Amino acid sequence: MTGGREMLTVSDHNRFLDGFTYVYPVLSRRAGGVSVGINLNPNNACNWQCVYCQVSGLVRGKAPKIDLTRLESELRAFLMVLRQGDWLAHNAPEGAQSFRDIAFSGNGEPTSAMEFADAVAIVVRLHAEFDLGPSVALRLITNGSLLGQTRVREGIHRLGQAGGEVWFKVDAGKADAIARINGVRLAPGTIARNLGLCAALCPTWVQTCVFRWDGLPPDDSEIDAWLNVLTSAGTAIRGVLLYGIARPSQQPAGLRVSPLSADEFGRITIKTINQGLTIHVSP
């Protein structure tokens, strides 16, 4: 099973595997190896439109109806390939041939799927059936905007009970910056509240994409506002996963963003540490 693609790279997160709808492999910088993705948004629909998003043809909306039987069949089949064959040796570069996690991510907001909690239950069950253990993490990558819905909290709670974790997107701390970066009108206090609620249900890391906008890095006031959102959520978050631009944006304003320098990453890192937060950086 090669998936009709070349060697996995961090610069190509093409979510395609021959005959599969929901399951795809990528090479993840933050996970530190191969991540088996669960794409609950094969219709390329998301309730946000982040300026750095690499999904081509992204539309506003929610996940379609999920075929849970097919999801289970695809994940079981790919886990069997990983267990029995040499797929990693042929499809991942040397030094990155480790199976690191099963992650709900994909081409939109995974928690927008009405079947999200049931999908979590399937992944948790197969993780146990294949005896993957703690070396293969269970993760949800989310913008956290739907935490007000009972079914979303139920799915996140199930993930927490199974020893999983959440990577919760917080890219900015000012309302105008949130609108510019994530394409939504959302108050910073709402994000902080949802972040705190998520952390109470499941171990939660904040993931933040940082970059230059029109050639300028985020200024001190923007960084301080972002940190205020994190600290306002309480002390329950595990830390911050700070990362930069590794793949070209497919969004209309994507040409306005460019990578930060090492010194600019360092400035944000120092400010974060000074707030007492753990931070991992993937430039």
- Strand runs (DSSP E) across the chain, as ranges? 23-28, 33-39, 45-46, 59-60, 99-105, 137-142, 165-169, 204-209, 212-213, 239-243, 257-258, 279-282
Residues 45 and 62 sit within 8 Å (Cβ to Cβ): yes
Amino acid at residue number 117: A
Is residue 4 predicted with pLDDT exceeding 50?
no
Half-sphere exposure (Cβ direction) of 70: Cα atoms closer than 13 Å:
12
Question: Left if phi > 0, otherwise alpha if psi is -120 to 50, otherwise beta: which for 36?
Answer: beta
d(CA 156, CA 201): 6
Is residue 234 predicted with pLDDT exceeding 50?
yes
> Using alpha carbons only, how large is the chain's radius of gyration in Å?
18
Mean pLDDT of the chain, nearest integer: 91
Amino acid at residue number 191: I
pLDDT, position 12 = 45
* Through-space distance between the first and last CA atoms of the chain, rounded to whole angstroms: 31
Q: What percent of the chain has pLDDT over 90?
A: 76
pLDDT, position 94 = 81
pLDDT, position 158 = 98
23-209, what's its fold?
A: TIM Barrel (3.20.20)
Is residue 123 predicted with pLDDT exceeding 90?
yes
Under the banding of pLDDT at 50, 70 and 90, the label for residue 13 is very low
Residues 273 and 279 sit within 8 Å (Cβ to Cβ): yes
* 27 contacts: CB under 8 Å, gap ≥ 6: 8, 9, 10, 33, 34, 35, 92, 93, 96
Is residue 6 predicted with pLDDT exceeding 50?
yes
What are 29-74's pLDDT values in tens digits? 766 788 899 999 999 999 999 999 989 899 999 999 999 999 999 9
Under the banding of pLDDT at 50, 70 and 90, the label for residue 98 is confident
Over residues 70-84, mean pLDDT: 93
Under the banding of pLDDT at 50, 70 and 90, the label for residue 2 is very low
In degrees, rounded to 5, the angle at the alpha carbon of residue 223 between the alpha carbons of residues 220 and 226 is: 150
DSSP, res 216:
B
Predicted TM-score (pTM) of this structure: 0.91
pLDDT, position 18 = 67
What are 141-200's pLDDT values in tens digits? 999 999 999 999 999 999 999 999 999 999 999 999 999 999 999 999 999 999 999 999
